[in-house]
Each structure stands twice: as C-alpha cells, then as structure tokens.
Structure 1
Amino acid sequence: MRLRPALAFAAALLLAPGLAQAGETLDRVLSTKVLNNVVVDNYPPFTFIDKDNQLAGFDIDVAQAVGDKLGVKVVNSVPGWEVITAGRWAKRWDVCICSITPTTDRATVLDFIVQYYSSPAVLIVHKDETAIKSVADISGKQVGVGSGSSYEAYLDKTITIPGEKTIAFPFNDPIKVPSNETVNFQNLALGPGVRLDAIVANIATAKGLIDAGAPLKIVGEPLFGEPNWIAVDKGDAEWNAKVVETIEALRADGTLKAISEKWLGTDITRNDI
C-alpha cells in the first residue's frame, strides 16, 4: 500500500458528512452481539462454498477474527455484488469484508476505511493458448470478467483507483463476457477460444486454480495494483474507527498474516504493499 495517498483517501472518507447518526452501527453491533458481514460466494480462495456447503476462505476467516476481537457473532450474507456495491444498506449489513477495491464511483456510496490486503489483477489464458501473450493481444477476443467487478471496469477503460498510479489500457474493443467468476474459469478451461479466450482476475485466484491443476496460465505483467479495503455504509465515523482499530490490532498480532498464509501461502496483508 502506498501509505500517504491511501491514508489521505481514508481520512477524506472518514471526515465526509454522514448520512446516519454517528455511533448507530457501532451501538447496534455491540448491543445485539452480531456482526452482519456481506461477501460473495464465488471468489476462491477469498470466499467460496466448500465441500460441506459452507462459506469458507480468506475473507470468512478475517471476518471471524474481527468478530472474535469484538466479542460478537459473525453472520455472513451473500446479497449479490451489485447490491453490495450500490451502498445504502439500510442497516441490513454492518461491514463488507469482501475483497472490494475502492474506486471513485464506489466511494460515492460506501466508505472505504482500511486496506487489509493487496493482490494485483492479471490476464489468464488456457495453457495451450499461443496467440495471446499479453493484454495487448486481447483486442477482439472474448474476455471473461466478474459481473460488476473492477476487472469489468478495466475492460471498459473506466476504472480509477484512488492512491494508485494511472492504469494503462493497451487494447481495443475486447468482447467483454461478464459472468460468475467460477463459471468464467470453467469455460476457459475447456480450451482456447471454445467459450472464452482469456480472463481478467486476481492473481491469487488464478494461482490457486493453476496450482490445483487447472489447465491455465498467467501471461504478461500484472495489469493494475488492486488494493482491497474493508467497506461500510456511509455515516458512522465511530464504527469506522472501531473497525480500523480492530484490523490494525489483527495485523499487529499476526492474525492477518496467519490467515493469509493459510489460504495463499504468502502474506498479502502487510500495510507496506
């Protein structure tokens, strides 16, 4: 994380005029002893449905660690990515520990309060693909992206990430195929050009599938840095501060590092990334 611009971005959000009574979310969480977290269920290894039909992954463990630190029960909900990123949660949920990247558009409806990991976006193709060697080669190709994701905005050339360097778009008119990420990877595994030519996704997701035997490969350089922050509905500076305090305590005591190493084999949670 680039500390100065990132912290300036967070500070600006924390000082923005609130839409709800200060302390309302914090009071609700501490009085009900329940933390309502929103996630997606198709973004391994961050969140997915395991063999026991339960939500599992990096984000689930981080949310549980936050709940344990606060002394509350964690309830994870999967309302859909478009619903999460629309904001205005109307007290249905308290926090999004859900691998969300802050963008200028999203920051108009959500507060991004603390970065908890960073992992870049990459281009993935079938292992037998020979024509696509970098993102410059995707013009006119069918490229899968998660619906409503930062990867979709990247293909649209509309993504801006506060605190990050300017993103390059060395391609023209790829055929964007937005869908469930799990489906995208399954389709790409069928072969080069069968249903997809490439996917833009997180490097950790891609490496995890490749290491598990998926017939895929990463090509070219990382496309853009993807800082992932914890997001909350706008309006409660006291709740924001409590979540930040809790995450930094989990970072300091090594909990975030341990969770990262469990799911990814490396530490992506350092605040100097």
Structure 2
Amino acid sequence: MLKRHSMIAKALTAIALLAASQSHAGATLDNVQKTGVLRGVLLESYPPFSFLNGKNQLDGFDVDVAKAVAKKLGVKLKLETPAWEAIAAGRWGSRWDICICSMTPNKERAAVLDFPVFYYNSPAVLVVNASDKKVGSLKDLEGKKIGIEQGSSYESYLQKKLVLEAPNAVQPTYPFGKLIIAPYSNEELAYQDLALGAGKRVDAVISNLVTAHERISKGGKFRIVGQPLYQEPNWVAVGKGDAKWNARIKQVIGELKKDGTLSAISKKWIGSDITN
C-alpha cells in the first residue's frame, strides 16, 4: 500500500510540474506583446558596453543590441540598472524579461537562468596601476588584494570554482596561489581605487579586455598584464523555464547576426567584430 501511495504521489507531482511548465510556456513573449514593452536589465557603468553618456542616458554596445532586439520584436525598450548581484541571482519573477548585459554562463547562473544564445566573446584580463612595473602575472600578487565586481564570473575565478556552461567553452585554469578578493558593487569603484596606486586599496583588478582598453584609452593610468586569463563567452540571459521565449530570442539574435546589425554595433563601439 505504501508503495502504491508513493507511486500516486510521484504521478501527482509530475502532473503538477507539467501543468506549471505549460502555464509558464510563452508567458514572457505573451506579456511583451501584450504590453508592447521589453524590460531589459544591464549595468550602469561598464563602458563601452553600457554607461551613462553626456546626456545622462544609457548608451553603449549592450544598449544598442537591446534596442535592436526590441525593434525586431516591434516593442518599446525599458532598461533598468540594478546591482549585478540582483541580476545574476536569477528568479526575476515579473521584474525583467531579458539581460543583454555581458553575462558569462557559469554553473551557478545556469541553475537559475536560461542562456538561449551567444552574442559576443571577450577575454578576462588582469589590470594593474600603470606605475606598478613588478607584476607580470597573478602569481606575483600572492596575498594581495584583487578588485572585482561582486557576483561576477571574476569572483568565481579567483575562488577557483568558475565552470563555464557555454557549449565548447575552454575551462579556465588557476595558475595562482592565495589571493585576497576585494568585492565592489560596481567595476567603476574598483578602477577608482586602483587609480590611487598599487597597494593603496587594491593591487589589481580583473576586468573584460574591451572595458580595460576603454578605460586606458580614456586616460586611465592602468596597464594590462600578460596574456588573457580565460575567454569569456557572453550570452543573452532570460528567466528560467520559458522555452517559447528562449526560442524567440535565439531567433531574433540570429536575424541580427545574419543581417549585419550585430557586426555594425560591434564595429561602432569596439572597432572590430567580436560577435562571431
């Protein structure tokens, strides 16, 4: 009898889960079409991908890609810029529909978010103050403070637990000993502290190659150390479990790649095509 009850309970659970998944299927796309608004989320200070321009408006590579996606869907775009931790934590509920925000899929994020499509690739690099001539690699920073954005893949990397979930991704190696992780609410603050000089507040920052070049080109007194630490495949992120929405976003990004829109946006902001 107990076995029979157990089988019935399992069957009822399976039916409930199926009903829940069916009720959620396509809910995001239906809501976007009904309201005429795509609710996107990204970072406020991650140039040249997203930042506030001279008119105090969000601008950059990710912003333009989000605008292109909204245009393809025939809806308006509404962007918000919460803390990265809130974005990467998933379980967005009814807050946001999409994150075109330079997110690298890892094991933890894949448990709470879906990643329907890749849209650009860029390496992670080590950045130090330009006056610091001694550092040649992470090995030289044993026991030193490394600034990173809290909740970023860089934090997982320094914890030696980053597992990239992207197809065919080359998993990072960890050729360094014990480092002190200095988490920041945003990358801009980490760079500001690094600009004070080596050892003042942090000894280095781990960043995206493109954003590092952007800050250096704008007069930042920094230098990139050695070879990239690992490749960052960046994917569009959405709430978990909506297959219809996943398929539509994959289709839209595919169309933007095919018609040259993504390439043009990349060349505008990066100077080369990083979307292949």
Query: If the length of structure 1 is used for normalisation, what is the TM-score?
Result: 0.90
Query: Residue 68 of structure 2 aligns with which residue?
Result: 65
Which secondary structure does the structure 2 equivalent of 1:258 belong to? helix
The answer to whether the 8 Å contact 1:18/1:234 transfers is no
Q: Distance in 1 between matches of 2:110 and 2:75?
A: 27
Aligned position for 2:9: none
In the TM superposition, residue 249 of structure 1 has moved relative to its aligned partner by: 0.5
Mapped partners of 1:113, 1:121: distance in 2: 22
The DSSP-based 3-state class of the residue aligned with 1:82 is helix
CA RMSD of aligned residues (A): 1.4
Alignment-derived partner of residue 241 in structure 1 = 247
Matched, 1:38 2:38: no
Q: What is aligned with 1:220?
A: 226
Q: Distance in 2 between matches of 1:193 and 1:157?
A: 23
Structure 2 CA distance, aligned partners of 1:138 and 1:45? 28
Q: Structure 1 residue runs of 4+, over 2 Å off?
A: 17-20
Change (3 A) 1:188 1:19: farther
Structure 1 residue 166 displacement after superposition: 2.7
Residues 247-256 or 132-141, more deviating: 132-141
Q: Work out whether 1:123 is the aligned partner of 2:129.
A: no
- In the TM superposition, 1:106-145 aligns within 5 A as 106-145=109-148
Aligned partner of residue 205 in structure 1, secondary structure? helix
Tell me the amino acid that sits aligned with residue 41 of structure 1. E
Q: Distance in 2 between matches of 1:215 and 1:56?
A: 24
Q: Counterpart of 2:106 in structure 1: which amino acid?
A: T
**CA distance in 2 between partners of 1:183 and 1:19 (Å):** 43
The residue type paired with residue 244 of structure 1 is K
Give yes or no for contact 1:35–1:73 (8 Å, CA) kept in 2: yes
Measured after TM superposition, the shift of residue 79 of structure 1 is 2.4
1:53 to 53, 56, 65: 56
Distance in 2, matches of 1:164 and 1:197, equals 29
Deviation at 1:240, TM superposition (A): 0.8
Residues in 2 aligned to 1:59 and 1:173: alpha-carbon distance in whole angstroms: 34
After TM superposition, the score normalised by the length of structure 2 is: 0.89
1:227 offset after TM fit, Å? 0.4
The AA in structure 1 aligned to 2:183 is: P
**Unaligned stretches of 5+ residues in structure 2:** 1-19
Q: Please say if residues 145 and 176 of structure 1, whose CA atoms lie closer than 8 Å, have aligned partners that are also in contact.
A: yes
Determine the structure 1 residue equivalent to 2:264: 258
Q: How many correspondences in the alignment?
A: 254
> Could you give the per-residue CA deviations for residues 183-209 of structure 1, whole angstroms, max 9, x where no partner exists?
111111122222221110100000011
